[in-house]
């Protein structure tokens, strides 16, 4: 399911997931069994699996998020690998 105003880049794979409104998803992104809320920016070559990504989150290029909860407004830096974590602004 893809929300209104959201855009996906080339060679993206979204399976068993919900993408919110006005999201920007880069090229070669994989989203599996996850919820991505509104106004999320996902950079090229990211992987999201079994996670909840709250509104206004930014995942920079090559970030890998597995079994995580990412809080509103959080920035996952380029090349990061997060597994089983709760990520939130302090």
How many other CB atoms are found less than 10 A from the CB of residue 74?
Answer: 16
Query: In the chain, what is the straight-line distance between the N-terminal and C-terminal CA atoms, in Å?
Result: 31
Pairing mode of beta strands 30-32, 86-87: unpaired
Structure tokens belonging to residue 86: 């709760």
pTM of the model: 0.96
- Averages of pLDDT over runs of 10 residues in the chain (90 residues) are 94 97 98 98 98 98 98 97 94
Question: Distance between CA 29 and CA 25 in Å, rounded?
Answer: 7
Residue 51, SS3? Answer: coil
pLDDT score of 69 = 98
């Amino acid at each position: 399911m893809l929300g209104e105003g959201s855009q996906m880049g080339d060679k993206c794979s979204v399976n068993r997931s919900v993408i919110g409104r006005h999201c920007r998803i880069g090229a070669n992104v994989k989203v599996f069994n996850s919820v991505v809320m509104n106004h999320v920016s996902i950079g090229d070559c990211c992987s999201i699996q079994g996670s909840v990504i709250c509104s206004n989150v930014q995942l920079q290029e090559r970030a890998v998020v597995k079994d995580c909860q990412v809080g509103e407004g959080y920035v996952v830096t380029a090349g990061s690998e997060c597994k089983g974590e709760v990520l939130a602004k302090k």
